[in-house]
Amino acid sequence: MYKELHEITAQLTGEGGPFEIAEVELDGVALRTYKNAPADMRQVWLGTAGHGDADYLVYEDERLTYAESHKLVAAAARNLVDRFGVKPGDRIAVAMRNYPEWVLSYWAAISVGASVVGMNAWWTGPEMVYALNDAKPTLLIADKERLERLEPVRDQVGDFQIITVRVSEGAPAGSQPWSELVAGEGTMPEVEIDPDSDACIFYTSGTTGVPKGAQLTHRGCTNNIMSMAFWNAASPAALAAAGKTRAPVAGEVSYPPAFLVVTPLFHVTACNCVMHGASLTGAKLILVYKWDAGRALELIEQERVTTISGVPVMSRELIAHEDFAKSDTSSLKSLGGGGAAIQPDLVEKIESRVSSARPGTGYGMTEACGVITMNSADYFVDKPETVGPILPVFETMIEGPDGKPVTDGGVGELCVRGGQVIRGYLNRPEATAESITNGWLHTGDIARIDEDGFVAIVDRAKDMLLRGGENVYCAEVEAAIFEHDAVAECAVIGVPDDRLGEEVGAAVVLADGVSVDADALRAFVKERIAAFKAPRYIWFMDSALPRNASGKFMKPELRDSLDVQDAQ
């Protein structure tokens, strides 16, 4: 089936194929792109109008069709231009839970040439201040909870207009309600969009203790849609050619595509890898207030959900839930996701316990506008320790410690180059130059590529941990801990966790003559950074932390010496 996959790939990406690869030159670098990709994300949205009266957005007892959504987006787009003065190149910050208004705001903003600044809904007030001052949006569209966090520090940010979402009382002075943004019978303004301009800015945690605003372009986002479409076409075609077609399940019914959106829309997982492609194909998006496996089972049955793409722990909790066996999950066709490695045992559990669904995953990152590899169905079952082959839009290099390419299945840092790579980091030329050199994106992940072209991620080069799909950079947490006067030294590490993949741990040395307990230190950290970044495990050390000759903490040795049972 691997020979067939290579043959099908060549057919689909060759001259005249639906995923034909072309080249475009940007800043003197030739980049691979899909010749037939939409010109920009505005065209993607306009292309969904034909889905008409099909359900588009479902949230609790609220339901919007594609036709209704297009009417609201057109009105919002017209009002953004005529009433709020938004121009191409402006930025619009969106800070809220996964409400329908998030989706509608996104399409309205990018359709008038503005870029969407995705604000992490878990951020504290100071973290919101940093991003707002960094991005300098013209307009902030926010829900009640985010506005309440911002209010105490509002005087620390510049001037911008505010649209309130689901705020019945206590709205900020001078703000306008959502109803005003979508008022009227507006027609979509005509704008020209540069495919290499920013479609959105998503913040990813920074190694220097502050987040970096990744600039995802229209070209990058549309090429990511094509990459996912490619795999969804190539994989079943190759399996069919290899005689691997799965026999239908008795009584199986084919349902229209419906995605349960279980991760935050301010991340590429939900926005780029679910919302973009699902919208273009006319799928239904079911939004949830927060993840709950029991509620997810109810929605699968009620809305006939066909796809769930979340972090691995969600699939694990779904299958392990006490109501799983008695719930009707027969509509499910794909279960899995990304944001962290799906362990081989979970691949087997999905394959064996969900009769209608196949396991699926994607490896990617914000800096690649979405996926870099994909793996699913028989390929994933056969190689559960891999994340699939590199998608056609990327050139690939495995770089050794000496900076030279590693060949023949050797291990090194995975580097990719192609039209999906971000333009850079907002206001961070040094960080951009460090991560992207001559078009090559250094992923920070240590990998190897096997004889079939499938990638296995074996380690991470960056000093970070992955907690439930959220990147937590150790330096950011360390910076918050070091703000406490009682702390003399600290080092943050990842602690293996069955549910979340990794939890945050911190080894702390206190200054002479002062003290602080673990609960007080956690509370102190949570006042400065999002709660999920605060250390669950804290070790108070009696001696200085181990360092190497250059003075850096020796984290591998430290990790090996610590016992979770001794943590507070």
CATH number at 167 reads: 3.40.50.980
Q: Which DSSP string corresponds to 294-352?
A: HHHHHHHHHHT--EEEE-HHHHHHHHHSTTTTTS--TT--EEEE-SS---HHHHHHHHH
Number of Cβ atoms within 10 Å of the Cβ of 182: 22
Longest dimension (CA), the chain: 74
What is the average pLDDT score of the chain? 93
From residue 428, give the alpha-carbon distance in Å to each of 150, 196, 216, 462: 24, 18, 14, 18
pLDDT at 247 over 80: no
CATH number at 487 reads: 3.30.300.30
pLDDT of residue 136: 98
pLDDT of residue 480: 87
Give the three-state DSSP class for 568. coil
Residue 96's contacts (CB-CB under 8 Å, 6 or more residues apart) are 102, 121, 141, 142, 143, 145, 146, 165, 166
90: tokens are 């402006």
- Which residues form the domain of 537? 465-566
Are 392 and 32 contacting, i.e. CB atoms less than 8 angstroms apart? yes
Per-residue confidence band for 377, with pLDDT thresholds at 50, 70 and 90: very high
Query: What is d(CA 93, CA 137) in angstroms, rounded to the nearest whole number?
Result: 6
31-61 tens-digit pLDDT: 999 999 999 999 999 999 999 999 999 999 9
290 in any annotated domain: yes
Identity at 410, one-letter amino acid code: G
466: tokens are 């992955």
Q: What is the pTM of this model?
A: 0.88
CATH number at 305 reads: 3.40.50.12780
Per-residue confidence band for 550, with pLDDT thresholds at 50, 70 and 90: very low
Mean pLDDT computed over 260-270? 95
| Number of separate domains in the chain | 3
Query: What is d(CA 220, CA 40) in angstroms, rounded to the nearest whole number?
Result: 9
56 in any annotated domain: no
Where is the domain boundary, 407, 426, 460?
Answer: 460
Where is the domain boundary, 460, 486, 501?
Answer: 460
Query: What is d(CA 197, CA 108) in angstroms, rounded to the nearest whole number?
Result: 16
Residue 233's contacts (CB-CB under 8 Å, 6 or more residues apart) are 12, 18, 19
